[in-house]
Amino acid sequence: VGAYPIFTREEVTKHRTLQDGVWVTFGDSVYDITDFVGLHPGGSKIMLAAGGALEPFWVMYAVHNQQHVLELLGEYKVGELSSEDKKKGSGAISDPYASDPPRHPALKINSLKPFNAEPPSEILSENFLTPNAFFFKRNHLPVPEVDPERYRLEISGEGLPKAVSLTLEDLKTKFPKHTVTATLQCAGNRRSEMNKIKQVKGLDWGIAAISNAQWGGVRLREVLEHAGYRHGGAAQHVQFEGLDKDVSGTPYGASIPLRKALSDDGDMNGEELPRDHGFPLRAVVPGTVGARNVKWLGKIIVSAEESKSHWQQNDYKGFSPSVDWDTVDFKSAPAIQELPIQSAITEPRDGALLERSGEQVTVRGYAWSGGGREVVRVDVSLDGGKTWQVATLRSGEDAPPLGQAWAWKLWELSAPFPPEGEQLDIVCKAVDNSYNMQPDSVAPIWNLRGVLSNAWHRVRVSVKI
């Protein structure tokens, strides 16, 4: 290792544009990342750190605390900080996640900061309504601290005579309360199965980035009417902005088509909306991908255009297996809204050891389809898909009106063990009322972002004689 040139922090600050070169520091080292800026998977945000330390930004984006990222950074090293500046350090870094709420220890954490976690799969099939503590949690940023007294919901845009601001008290007293039981599923649920085919980018979700709750609150339509919304203009979309913001002050955002604008706020399974799930207000968009169910809702904007948010424009879209990170054109695909038919086996778990003495094997799971399409059947195979049996569906509620099956169905199959064999290849697949079915394997639906992973779910278990 040859000696590196020595720089002061003062000198580093002079390199903050592509013309002057883009330099950053990490620990005691200096890096010239000019050539990496255009290649950065996180886009132009990287320029926020230009001329200074990476640490204050990387505490927010903990995706960087990985060996492969540090190795990549190492390739751009050009110097070391002067011993004077080494002593000073990069300044105290406050952890933006320090005020995140406490969480249940049984959750399987996929990323701590931001917090992303799924419950043990058995918990899902044990409860038609997933208890809030176990409901999967998917945050892109720190959980904002919202003072309910000072909270305001801002509503503006196309077709509204003027901007309107509502307090929580207004929302609770000026509108009728509605409830809806709706399943929320992340676009990345079951991504880990795609990773087995070929590496995708994103959190390695198992089968439990999906949960079901009864949501209580007000209808978005009624809030828009209260704000004086009139049809006839250019309005096509309803944009949502969260109160969670990144280092550049950009909030989490998403939009839904205007005609879908039918939503709720307020409580979750009869409890106050938990901080992780959007306290004090979230958009609930039944039948629509998790990403559009914006939490910590601060702003509603009716507009002719979709949300400009990164997550609406350059993420949460599906592509052909042939598309890679060099060829992907995010403008060429529509934003995911309704999700496809889905099901998975929650019990037994892959790799479990079953006792034949029980004589019956019991398989449990969930099934759900987007857009309010009702699951009408779940087929289960104990022999890898050669023969099938129909599972019993448990809906937990009265039959929903056509096109409004927002909640999942839990299902169960109890069947005699096949006469021989030390292994069971259990498979499930669901059918919705449009007769949409799941594809039999992952490879043909593989996509670089690892979304929409809904192939037949398979678990292999051993049988003890």
How many residues bind ligand HEM (CB under 6 A)? The answer is 21
Angle at 123 between CA 119 and CA 129, to 5 degrees: 100
The active-site residue, picked from 64, 190, 191, 292, is 64
Q: Which part of the chain contacts ligand HEM (CB under 6 A), choosing from 5-13, 60-68, 87-95, 404-412?
A: 60-68
Which position's Cβ is nearest ligand HEM?
A: 42
Residues found in the chain: 465
Which residues on neighbouring strands pair with residue 426, listed in sequence order?
A: 459
**What tokens appear for 397 in the block?**
């509620």
Shortest distance (Å) from residue 26 CB to ligand MTE:
26
Task: Check if the beta carbon of residue 170 is closer than 8 Å to that of residue 222.
Answer: no
| H helices present in 18-65, as ranges | 55-58
54 binds ligand HEM (CB under 6 A): yes
Identify residues 175-204 at the interface with Mo ion (CB under 5 A). Answer: 186
Is 252 an active-site residue? Answer: no
Is 226 an active-site residue? Answer: no
Q: Which part of the chain contacts ligand HEM (CB under 6 A), choosing from 66-74, 224-232, 426-434, 450-458?
A: 66-74
Distance CA(163)–CA(154), nearest Å, equals: 7
Is 428 an active-site residue? Answer: no
Instruction: Tell me the per-residue interface mask from 212 to 251 with ligand MTE, x by CB under 6 A, - otherwise.
Output: ------------------------------x-x-------
Dihedral sign for Cα 297, 301, 304, 310, please. Answer: negative
Going across the sheet that includes 392-394, the strands are 342-347, 360-368, 409-416, 392-394
Q: Hey, how many other C-beta atoms are within 10 angstroms of the C-beta on 143? A: 24
| H helices present in 205-308, as ranges | 220-226
Residue with tokens 């297996």: 321
Distance CA(349)–CA(359), nearest Å, equals: 18
DSSP-derived secondary structure letter, 5: P
200 binds ligand HEM (CB under 6 A): no
135 binds ligand MTE (CB under 6 A): yes
Q: What is the DSSP string of 290-353?
A: GGGS-SSEEEEEEESS----HHHHSSSB---TT--TTT--GGGSPBP-BPPPEEEEEESPTT-E
**What tokens appear for 39 in the block?**
């290649």
Shortest distance (Å) from residue 44 CB to ligand HEM:
9
296 binds ligand MTE (CB under 6 A): yes
Alpha-carbon 171 to chain mean position: 27
Which helix (DSSP H) or strand (DSSP E) does residue 463 occupy?
strand 457-464
Out of 30, 51, 53, 57, the only residue in the binding site for ligand HEM (CB under 6 A) is 57
Binding partner selected for residue 277 from ligand MTE, ligand HEM, Mo ion, none, CB under the kind-specific 5 to 8 Å limit: ligand MTE
The residue (of 296 and 366) whose beta carbon lies closer to ligand MTE is 296
Which helix (DSSP H) or strand (DSSP E) does residue 243 occupy?
strand 237-245
Instruction: Tell me the per-residue interface mask from 4 to 33 with ligand HEM, x by CB under 6 A, - otherwise.
Output: --------------------x--------x
Out of 53, 155, 171, 291, the only residue in the binding site for ligand MTE (CB under 6 A) is 291
The active-site residue, picked from 138, 310, 373, 449, is 138
Binding partner selected for residue 73 from ligand MTE, Mo ion, ligand HEM, none, CB under the kind-specific 5 to 8 Å limit: ligand HEM
206 binds ligand MTE (CB under 6 A): no
Q: Which CA distances in Å does 247 have to 45, 57, 252, 279, 300? A: 9, 7, 12, 21, 22
The residue (of 85 and 246) whose beta carbon lies closer to ligand MTE is 246
**What tokens appear for 279 in the block?**
């306290």
Q: Which residues contact 349 (CB under 8 A, 6 or more apart)?
A: 121, 122, 459, 461
The active-site residue, picked from 16, 61, 151, 186, is 186
Residue with tokens 């507009």: 303
256 binds ligand HEM (CB under 6 A): no
252 binds ligand MTE (CB under 6 A): yes
Q: Which part of the chain contacts ligand MTE (CB under 6 A), choosing from 45-53, 134-142, 190-198, 343-351?
A: 134-142
Out of 73, 333, 352, 393, the only residue in the binding site for ligand HEM (CB under 6 A) is 73
Which residues on neighbouring strands pair with residue 161, listed in sequence order?
A: none
Distance CA(20)–CA(449), nearest Å, equals: 34
Is 394 an active-site residue? Answer: no
* Positions in the binding site for Mo ion (CB under 5 A): 138, 186, 290-291
* Positions in the binding site for ligand HEM (CB under 6 A): 24, 33, 36, 40-42, 45-46, 48-49, 54, 57, 61, 63-64, 66, 69, 72-73, 201, 247
Active-site residue list: 40, 64, 138, 186, 316
* Positions in the binding site for ligand MTE (CB under 6 A): 135-141, 184, 186, 242, 244, 252, 276-277, 290-291, 293-296
